Amino acid sequence: MTVQCCQCKKIRVANKWKRATVASNEAVSHSYCPACLARCLTEIRRESSVRRVVPADLPA
Ligand SMILES: [Zn+2]
């Protein structure tokens, strides 16, 4: 199973994120690489602060 970042399309290889092409016959699971996850969390936090809602299940 290949894990691909759904934002920047990098794939995870041995815990490193690389820009690479996924073979069309490979099963792909979509996730976030650390960079995109951080950016995404920042956006979620900004949204939540506007709405005054604190997501309970986000890492600090
Ligand atoms: Zn990414």
Strand partners, 28: 2
Q: How far is the CA of 38 from the centre of ligand 1 (A)?
A: 9
Q: How far is the CA of 5 from the centre of ligand 1 (A)?
A: 5
Q: How far is the CA of 9 from the centre of ligand 1 (A)?
A: 6
pLDDT recorded at residue 50: 76
Neighbours of ion ligand 1 (CB under 5 A): 5, 7-8, 33, 36
Coil vs helix vs strand at 2: strand
pLDDT recorded at residue 23: 85
Residues contacting 22, CB < 8 A, separation 6+: 2, 4, 11, 28
Q: How far is the CA of 16 from the centre of ligand 1 (A)?
A: 11
Q: Could you read off the pLDDT of 2-57 as tens digits, one per residue?
A: 999 999 999 999 999 999 888 889 899 999 999 999 999 999 999 888 766 566 76
